[in-house]
Chains A and B, each alone.
Chain A
């Protein structure tokens, strides 16, 4: 009888982290959307957003007309009291899952004494994801 090979710890850790963070983010996003739809405080008026969205309006126009100004960056962090702000926080939380997961996975690889190339590659990926999430790599126009 062959022995089952052990799955690399770095992979297991990554899988657990991204699963739970994404799930929590999704739940927060759903709660935010429910508040937004069922009469809670709104940063951008829902009927305005949807009508302009369905008219095919440019996304910047939608924000300008419905929230009063164009947005850029982590706008939701200042609007957590609103349903759409909370919903967006949930979405952003889901999107941060892989960033955290890859960092932890990279350190786990180092600790597990994996061939040095792989923690190095994992750190490169982690840096790219972090720069992207911080908005250092972004679309400024």
Chain B
């Protein structure tokens, strides 16, 4: 799509997003008010039973999973902003659950990539060290913010996530360029000494793909940043990891996508445990979200073969922008509320 056409989409989506954001607040308040009227004071779960609540989240997460796969992103990156933007649930619980569902999906998906040798085990462990360390630091930082900053901390987390989510949607619009087999050129001495290069069998070409990688030192720094964001905000990290592997290290796209999936499983495991230890995972919320996202991903993958899903990419961009704006608005509300309490 040329730049002019892209701008038309961006403008259209921005207008719809702003209108939806303004209306969205009213809708959420109306739902909350309705729940308060219908349900007795002690049980205000949208005025419905725990079983219905379970299935409501199951269906919502199946839909998130389907749309995410059709748009070519992981469910984990869509789950956290939507849940934080459109439900009143404590952000600590949502972030813990977001990390858990991203991790579980990645762990289940890893097997075929490693069996076929497409995911490069050397790159994986090289990248997993900075990613896991910084993901844990991010998770600890999340706990620190929660424990010491109260509502202002919550406002900062939501605001920060809002900015990141808007940034990710811009990345989807403007930096969609991915290279199937990047031209590596000259390999730097550091990467060469690491010996990260490997080979895999490419079915579509019917031959072995021998590839080189470079810029391992830059990639390590970038993995730190991605890990920190993932651990702090409970986001899946495929959106950032694939470009690092593909455009910075110059690994083939298939290797980049599979390595990213496997590494999320490792790094998010490190980050999810501090949340579990802090009581952030509630089985009643985590289980339907986990099943829903995995089932949704499977359904989405089956649908993807049959339909042309170009428009879904724009739908997910709109959803992400909408969630980002909602998060920023919530952050401002919380900040004002906290300031009012202090004064």
Contacts and interface: CB of A to CB of B under 8 A. Distances in A.
B119 A11 contact: yes
Contacts of B198: 5
Q: How many interface residues does chain B have, given as a range? A: 35 or more
A99 B286 CA distance: 20
B272 to A, nearest CB: 6
A46 B199 CA distance: 51
A121 B126 contact: yes
B45 A63 contact: no
B45 A51 contact: yes
A81 interface: no
A71 B281 CA distance: 11
A106 B107 CA distance: 17
A15 B269 contact: no
Interface in B138-169: 139-140, 142-144, 146-147
A97 B106 CA distance: 11
B277 A91 contact: no
Q: Which of A62, A70, A118, A125 counts the most chain B CB atoms within 10 A?
A: A125
Interface residues of A, number: 78
A26 B104 contact: yes
Interface stretch (B109-117, B299-307, B319-327): B109-117
Given A33-B284, A56-B89, A95 B276 contact: yes
Contacts of A58: 90, 92
A113 interface: no
A59 B107 contact: no
Given A54-B45, A55-B88, A135-B273, A11 B114 contact: yes
Contact of B107 (A48, A84, A88, A97): A97
B201 interface: yes
A91 B117 CA distance: 28
B251 interface: no
A122 B266 CA distance: 11
Interface in A92-121: 92, 94-95, 97-99, 102, 105, 109, 115, 117-118, 121
B283 A19 contact: no
Given A50-B53, A88-B283, A8 B121 contact: yes
Contact of B132 (A2, A117, A129): A129
Interface in B104-137: 104, 107-108, 110-117, 119, 121-122, 124-126, 128-129, 132-133, 136
Given A8-B121, A11-B119, A53 B111 contact: no
A45 to B, nearest CB: 9
B108 A121 contact: no
A132 B136 contact: yes
Interface in A31-45: 32-33, 36-38
Q: Which of A12, A48, A56, A91 counts the most chain B CB atoms within 10 A?
A: A91
B60 interface: no
B272 A11 contact: no
Contacts of A36: 283-284
B72 interface: no
Contacts of A95: 100, 103, 269, 272-273, 276
Given A19-B107, A53-B45, A94-B104, A5 B199 contact: yes
Contacts of A49: 282, 284
A29 B287 contact: yes
A119 to B, nearest CB: 9
A118 B121 contact: yes
A23 interface: yes
A16 B132 contact: no
Nearest to A45: B50
A47 B200 CA distance: 52
Given A32-B283, A72-B278, 18 more contacts: A5-B198, A5-B208, A15-B112, A15-B114, A26-B104, A32-B287, A53-B93, A54-B88, A91-B286, A95-B272, A98-B265, A129-B266, A133-B269, A137-B274, A138-B274, A139-B143, A139-B278, A141-B278
Interface of A: 2-8, 10-12, 14-16, 18-19, 22-23, 26, 29-30, 32-33, 36-38, 46-51, 53-60, 62-63, 70-75, 83-84, 87-88, 90-92, 94-95, 97-99, 102, 105, 109, 115, 117-118, 121-122, 124-125, 128-129, 132-133, 135, 137-139, 141
5 nearest CB pairs, A to B? A139-B143, A7-B117, A87-B283, A15-B114, A141-B147
